[in-house]
């Protein structure tokens, strides 16, 4: 999508509840795309973000505690979430913003929602007869009984605590399908190249749009860093708390304080990706990551980027 924006094939983009100017790989492509686009709309509960800085229009959205809806956990449990407080100012639930625009574009019949439950009822209907059938779940039932695990095909069902307990999978013959990936070894042949892995800190969430406002969550890790093995640090002439520059061919550089630890393997370095340009002058680490994706999942290669590391005087 961002490559399409950068090339001019895509003219407009509407970004909701995400901050791609920190989270995406090769942020130069993301920036070119957003700068070239004829229209950039960013809809978020938090402001400012690195992405709203490039927006033509910013739409204020209600966050989870300010809107009614349902949420599904990683154990497939659907739970009802009531609105705890009213959204501030002009903020509205995402569904209401989408429906409002659709109605103004002439799609009133398809987007005639007046409350969140109507959206859920339509979604529930689309699951009928599928492996994730939830036609037996309603707002009233969730409010009365609590969370229910899908699939739940009728109101007499209590949901499914385990999937595939009958030995059948959701395939034509009921047998599971296994896919063997082909892995390619990164070529880190140059003397100063190591493999960069990006990841998360315990107390932060994605690009810090929410968690950066909570001082308690910054105590365990107030600033970003590059973690490097003692053997690599010695080889590259790095000491604890030195400033180190990470460079990736053709994609720029980022700068971080050095943390020497054997929690990373020799030949690899780790940098938490949460900090974007608004919070870290050294530059976001994902600007170094090339756009290389898995052919099936399209997951970017965030764990195997060759970079050069050098000490900054």
Q: pLDDT tens, 185-203?
A: 655 555 558 999 999 999 9
Tokens encoding 143: 């409010």
Kindly state whether residue 243 falls inside one of the protein's structural domains.
Answer: yes
The verdict on 198 and 305 lying in the same domain is yes
Looking at 149, 177, 204, the residue that finishes a domain is: 149
pLDDT of residue 189: 53
> Distance between CA 60 and CA 40 in Å, rounded?
14
Whether the bond between 151 and the residue before it is cis, its omega within 30 degrees of 0, is yes
Interatomic CA distance for residues 118 and 115, integer angstroms: 6
Domain count, the chain: 3
Question: Does 304 lie in the same domain as 278?
Answer: yes
Instruction: State the number of CA atoms in the 13 A half-sphere of 8 facing the CB.
Output: 0
**The domain boundary residue, chosen from 11, 36, 60:** 60
Give pLDDT, residue 174: 94
Would 305 be classed as within a structural domain? yes
pLDDT of residue 88: 96
Q: For residues 243 and 271, state if they share a domain.
A: yes
Domain residues for 97?
64-149
Q: Please tell me whether residues 231 and 305 are part of one structural domain.
A: yes
Which parts of the chain have pLDDT scores under 70? 185-192
Instruction: Say if residue 239 is in the same domain as residue 280.
Output: yes
- Pair 41, 75 in one domain: no
Write down which residue in 15, 43, 60 finishes a domain: 60
pTM: 0.87
Question: Which are the contacts of 172, defined by CB distance < 8 A and separation ≥ 6?
Answer: none
Examine the domain organization and report whether 283 and 209 are in the same domain. yes
**Are 109 and 52 members of one domain?**
no
Residue 154 lies in a domain: no
List the CATH number of the domain containing 284: 2.40.40.20
Residues 201 and 288 placed together within one structural domain of the fold = yes
CA 166 from chain centre, in angstroms, equals: 34
CA-to-CA distance for 220 and 212, rounded, in angstroms? 12
Is residue 300 located within the same domain as residue 204?
A: yes
Co-location of 54 and 96 in the same domain: no
């Amino acid at each position: 999508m961002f490559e399409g924006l950068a090339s001019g094939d895509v003219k407009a983009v509407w970004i909701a509840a995400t901050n791609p100017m920190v989270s995406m790989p090769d942020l130069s492509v993301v920036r070119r795309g957003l700068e070239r686009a004829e229209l950039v709309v960013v809809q978020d509960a938090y402001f400012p973000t690195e992405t709203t800085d490039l927006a033509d229009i910013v739409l204020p959205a209600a966050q989870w505690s300010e809107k009614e809806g349902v949420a599904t956990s990683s154990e497939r449990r659907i739970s009802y979430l009531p609105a705890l407080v009213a959204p501030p100012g002009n903020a509205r639930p995402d569904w209401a913003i989408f429906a409002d625009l659709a109605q103004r574009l002439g799609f009133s019949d398809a987007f005639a929602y007046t409350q969140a439950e109507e959206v859920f009822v339509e979604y529930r209907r689309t699951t009928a007869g599928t492996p994730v059938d939830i036609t037996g779940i309603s707002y009233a039932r969730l409010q009365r009984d609590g969370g229910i695990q899908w699939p739940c095909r009728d109101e007499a069902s209590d949901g499914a605590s385990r999937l595939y307990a009958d030995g059948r999978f959701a395939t034509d013959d009921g047998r599971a399908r296994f896919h063997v990936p082909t892995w390619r070894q990164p070529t880190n042949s140059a003397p100063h190249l190591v493999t960069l892995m990006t990841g998360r800190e315990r107390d932060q969430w994605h690009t810090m749009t929410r968690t950066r406002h909570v001082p308690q969550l910054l105590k365990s890790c107030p600033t970003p860093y590059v973690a490097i093995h003692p053997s690599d640090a010695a080889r590259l002439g790095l000491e604890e708390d030195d400033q180190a520059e990470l460079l990736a061919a053709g994609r720029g550089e980022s700068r971080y304080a050095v943390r020497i630890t054997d929690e990373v393997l020799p030949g690899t370095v780790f940098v938490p990706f949460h900090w974007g340009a608004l919070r870290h002058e050294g530059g976001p680490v994902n600007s170094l990551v090339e756009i290389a994706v898995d052919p099936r999942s399209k997951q970017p290669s965030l764990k195997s980027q060759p970079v050069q590391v050098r000490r900054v005087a």
